[in-house]
Structure 1
Amino acid sequence: MPMSVVKRNNVQVLGKPDAAETLVFAHGFGTDQTAWQDVAEAFADKYKIVLFDYVGANEKTTPFFNTRKYKHLQAYADDILDVLEELALRQVTLIGHSVGGMTGALAAIQEPSWFSKLILVNASPRYVNDNDYQGGFDQQTLDELFAQMQRDFHAWAGGFAPRIMANADRPHLANGFIQTISAMRPDVALAIARVIFQSDHRADIAQLQHPTLLIQGTHDLAVPHAVGHYMENHMPNAWLTFIDAEGHLPHISHADKVVQAIRPFLFS
């Protein structure tokens, strides 16, 4: 197995090594593979588990980042396909959070036979409002966010993380999120944030034919309910389920509820 892909994406293979089915977990912005720890552990007795970090997510992967390559989400989707190819994995179930879900969808569209099912947690094809589409942000708000990141990245992270994580009664969750965001190099984080928040993959999701479970929390500052309904209505084979969870990262804050939502879909 060439070290380049494994090292580049800090790939970890856990769980049951001889399992017939594989779960590949894709994290979102500001986190890394450790965000999936509790969810992945719930399935480790029956599945092969593949965890990885997107390039730029932390010190281990940042040396492989360059703005020329990673200027579109498709580059991250290509990295997922590289991982599957190097591990000789096919018919996998991809479980992706936020932008990890959308890059997973792009990968599955590109190589459909490599995937069997997808599970997208609080994912979105577009974050910017557009006419009657409610993505959750207007452009002015995003421009201010980018300016704050550029002006004082660590101060921005300290304010952004608690709002996105929510669950104020459990401050350790926001503190953990601050740590993983702060592990990103500021210029790399800004470049990735621009790519994510300015992306528009509404046309692409209509091409995803795989059975897809959409899991959305009931209170998410980053992805409003309208986005979940939009995806269900525009994806040929998708089902939307809401879980009683506060914040944009329910796989961290409400891992048990995410696991409960995933189980019946996996076994169906």
Structure 2
Amino acid sequence: MSVLLRNNVRVLGNEKADETLVFAHGFGNDQQAWAEVVPAFLDDYRIVLFDYVGANKQTVPYFNPRKYRKLQSFADDILDIIEELSLENITFIGHSVGGMSGILAAIQEPAWFSRLVLLNASPRYVNGDDYYGGFSQEVLNELFTQMESNFYAWASGFAPTIMANPDRPQLASAYAQTLSAMRPDVALSIAKMIFQSDHRTDVERVRHPTLLIQAKDDVAVPMEVCYYLEKHIPNAELSIIDTQGHHPHISDADKVIKAIKPFINLN
């Protein structure tokens, strides 16, 4: 099996660049989620884009629910890509669960990475003692039930809530389409893995300079989560951007670019 085929890998940008930016998407997206961000970096960096296994029809043939029941398997795929392309001096830019899988990869092979950028990422979504992740277990159980009973109706309702920006309904419509491109059983399996995971102890093991970019208004990842990450990742800095929704790289790409550029130029 080709790693590059499995993850639908594309390499763009400046092939002579000393630094590589690896972009990782979140749940319900694929690499096209970065379409408005990537052009700002093409001249100065090598760019690597990929799809997580199960994200779309190209990658779903490689999905095995036993393998991908833990986020570490997605992190292992990232390391496979890096090794296959012989990459070094990597800035990993990950959205949501894509950022958390990048953390696991960087912990495992720290020398391969220079810095991390986490966009609206969360180490745990379920509320607990002295921790607010944004979801009760009851709410998540209902979400899983809806996904299982009528996946496409669920996707149509979930997309506007997560995307926000009601004045631009085309954004939610586009997200509903990428969500619906997932095979329902695969989407449910991945969603359960993501929402039930707990990587709070892992984030404390990161030693790379890390930029946390957080939207002010995100129903999936409340502000309490970004403050938690800022406190528990040793070399973290926080950039709060004035945006709505869980996908600021799609809804407000210019603000995300503006946050990333100084960080990767100075560190």
Q: TM-score range by the shorter chain?
A: over 0.9
- C-alpha displacement at 1:203, in angstroms? 0.2
Look up the match of 1:166.
Answer: 164
Provide the C-alpha distance between the structure 2 equivalents of 1:42 and 1:224, rounded to a whole number of angstroms: 28
Structure 2 segments unaligned to the other structure (5+ residues): none
Task: Give the letter aligned to residue 30 of structure 2.
Answer: D
- C-alpha displacement at 1:16, in angstroms? 0.8
- C-alpha displacement at 1:198, in angstroms? 0.2
Structure-to-structure mapping, 1:18-167, within 5 angstroms: 18-167=16-165
Provide the C-alpha distance between the structure 1 equivalents of 2:177 and 2:114, rounded to a whole number of angstroms: 34
TM superposition outliers: structure 1 runs of 4+ over 2 Å: none
Look up the match of 1:244.
Answer: 242
Task: Give the letter aligned to residue 77 of structure 1.
Answer: A
Provide the C-alpha distance between the structure 2 equivalents of 1:14 and 1:75, rounded to a whole number of angstroms: 25
Per the normalisation by structure 1, the TM-score is 0.99
Question: Is the contact made by 2:37 and 2:249 (CA closer than 8 Å) also made in structure 1?
Answer: yes
Provide the C-alpha distance between the structure 2 equivalents of 1:45 and 1:91, rounded to a whole number of angstroms: 17
Provide the C-alpha distance between the structure 2 equivalents of 1:57 and 1:11, rounded to a whole number of angstroms: 13
Look up the match of 1:265.
Answer: 263
Task: Give the letter aligned to residue 99 of structure 2.
Answer: G
Structure 1 segments unaligned to the other structure (5+ residues): none
Task: Give the letter aligned to residue 95 of structure 1.
Answer: I
Provide the C-alpha distance between the structure 1 equivalents of 2:35 and 2:86, rounded to a whole number of angstroms: 23
Look up the match of 1:199.
Answer: 197
Structure-to-structure mapping, 1:176-195, within 5 angstroms: 176-195=174-193
- C-alpha displacement at 1:229, in angstroms? 0.3
1:22-48 deviation line (CA, Å, top 9, x unaligned): 000000000000000111111011100
Task: Give the letter aligned to residue 57 of structure 1.
Answer: A
Question: Is the contact made by 2:18 and 2:89 (CA closer than 8 Å) also made in structure 1?
Answer: no
Instruction: Kindly report the root-mean-square deviation, in angstroms, between the aligned alpha carbons of the 2 structures.
Output: 0.6
- C-alpha displacement at 1:18, in angstroms? 1.1
- C-alpha displacement at 1:196, in angstroms? 0.2
SS in 1 for 2:189: helix
Provide the C-alpha distance between the structure 2 equivalents of 1:196 and 1:42, rounded to a whole number of angstroms: 30
Per the normalisation by structure 2, the TM-score is 0.99
